[in-house]
Chain A
């Protein structure tokens, strides 16, 4: 007589409660968003370089949170245009080391070449961080405008689109290598040369 020993069934009714508990725990302790921000590269310590005066655009942010470009007060909304005009100036027509792809005013008193043009931001200790970020953002926008223009004329795609494609997970590895070289090239055409200094 084989008596079938039946295993008593485990009551799974509380499984849902346990899972809910875990779910709520993870919902509370985790964050979904990924950070975004403005990336900059600081210069090395004790790095000094001499740059011609015309190749520097001086942007200063004073203690009362005003923006001065070359010692004259400008509204922050104009900063992007000023930066584009400065970077894209391209040196005198027929001048030595002039920039071939620039479409600027070719002013003798402004920058020779985007690869030499430096934007210097100087802040005081009392300047608000928010203003500094706004200025950084406008300057980054100026670089992006110029890189987009070159991207469209050279590769038929703007710099920003190239970056998006590069970061997208749907892009293949071989394509990424090609995109990377395009992005690097656009970056060398308009390298981001921003120096940040602090005056007391």
Chain B
């Protein structure tokens, strides 16, 4: 009279994985919304200095980036160890900064063209000579809003 077939001992029902895709998609959308794309690979050493009185740079579409620092190991054989400027994906000279800024500005929508900020991502071992050359170029093309991008931290760590 065994109406109920006895389950075999130790036969665990399989865990349903049907909702696994949903979970993963949820994670995917989370990361897609909170992160931003890396738009250029950095070819220079870029240990930013520390500062504590910083301001957040929001609205990435209003920022033009300029990188500077020593070329990384793989580029040192070609470009040497002098501090170089990197614009988009290539090394550049100081006199190319102005035209780069103008070109980037022209790409942005009209209403943003007057509120652009230039973010200088410069290695803390770089020399001020190069920075002041860049600043001079920026002044020539009237890109006066500048942000020295830093890490959050104690500024006295920069001098050792």
A176 to chain B, nearest CB (A): 14
Interface: A8 (CB within 8 A) = no
Chain A, Cβ-Cβ closest to B139: A45
Interface centre among B142, B156, B158 (most CB of A within 10 A): B158
Q: Which of B38, B49, B142 contacts A133 (CB 8 A)?
A: B49
Chain A contacts with B in 129-188, Cβ cutoff 8 A: 129-134, 136-138, 140-141, 144, 167
Which stretch (B3-11, B84-92, B104-112, B126-134) binds chain A?
Answer: B126-134
Chain A, Cβ-Cβ closest to B21: A15
A65 near B37 with CB under 8 A, answer no
B127 near A125 with CB under 8 A, answer yes
Contacts of B149 in A (CB 8 A): 35-37
Contacts of A30 in B (CB 8 A): 31-32, 35-38
A12 to chain B, nearest CB (A): 7
Distance in angstroms between the alpha carbons of A134 and B35 in the assembled complex: 30
Contacts of B117 in A (CB 8 A): 39
A44 near B142 with CB under 8 A, answer yes
Distance in angstroms between the alpha carbons of A76 and B156 in the assembled complex: 8
> C-beta contact mask, B114-155 vs A, less than 8 Å → 1, else 0?
000101001111111101100100111010111111111001
Interface: A41 (CB within 8 A) = yes
Distance in angstroms between the alpha carbons of A23 and B109 in the assembled complex: 31
Distance in angstroms between the alpha carbons of A77 and B158 in the assembled complex: 13
B27 near A23 with CB under 8 A, answer yes
B28 near A23 with CB under 8 A, answer yes
> C-beta contact mask, A116-131 vs B, less than 8 Å → 1, else 0?
0000000111111111
Interface: B81 (CB within 8 A) = no
B55 near A39 with CB under 8 A, answer yes
Interface: A1 (CB within 8 A) = no
B148 near A40 with CB under 8 A, answer yes
Q: Which of B28, B63, B128, B158 contacts A125 (CB 8 A)?
A: B128
Interface: A108 (CB within 8 A) = no
A128 near B124 with CB under 8 A, answer yes
B127 near A128 with CB under 8 A, answer yes
Distance in angstroms between the alpha carbons of A38 and B139 in the assembled complex: 18
B127 near A133 with CB under 8 A, answer no
A-B interface, 7 closest residue pairs, ranked by CB to CB distance from nearest: A125-B129, A130-B158, A30-B35, A130-B124, A198-B132, A137-B155, A19-B24
Besides the known contacts A31-B38, A132-B128, A133-B155, 6 further A-B residue pairs in the complex with CB atoms under 8 A apart? A34-B56, A37-B150, A129-B126, A130-B159, A167-B58, A198-B128
Instruction: Point out residues on A near B: beta carbons under 8 Å.
Output: 12-13, 15-16, 18-20, 22-23, 26-27, 29-32, 34-45, 61, 65, 76-77, 123-134, 136-138, 140-141, 144, 167, 196-198
Instruction: Point out residues on B near A: beta carbons under 8 Å.
Output: 17-18, 20-21, 24-25, 27-28, 31-32, 34-38, 49-58, 60, 63, 117, 119, 122-129, 131-132, 135, 138-140, 142, 144-152, 155-156, 158-159
14 contacts between A and B (CB under 8 A): A26-B31, A30-B38, A35-B119, A36-B151, A38-B147, A39-B147, A42-B145, A44-B142, A129-B126, A130-B124, A133-B148, A134-B49, A136-B148, A137-B155
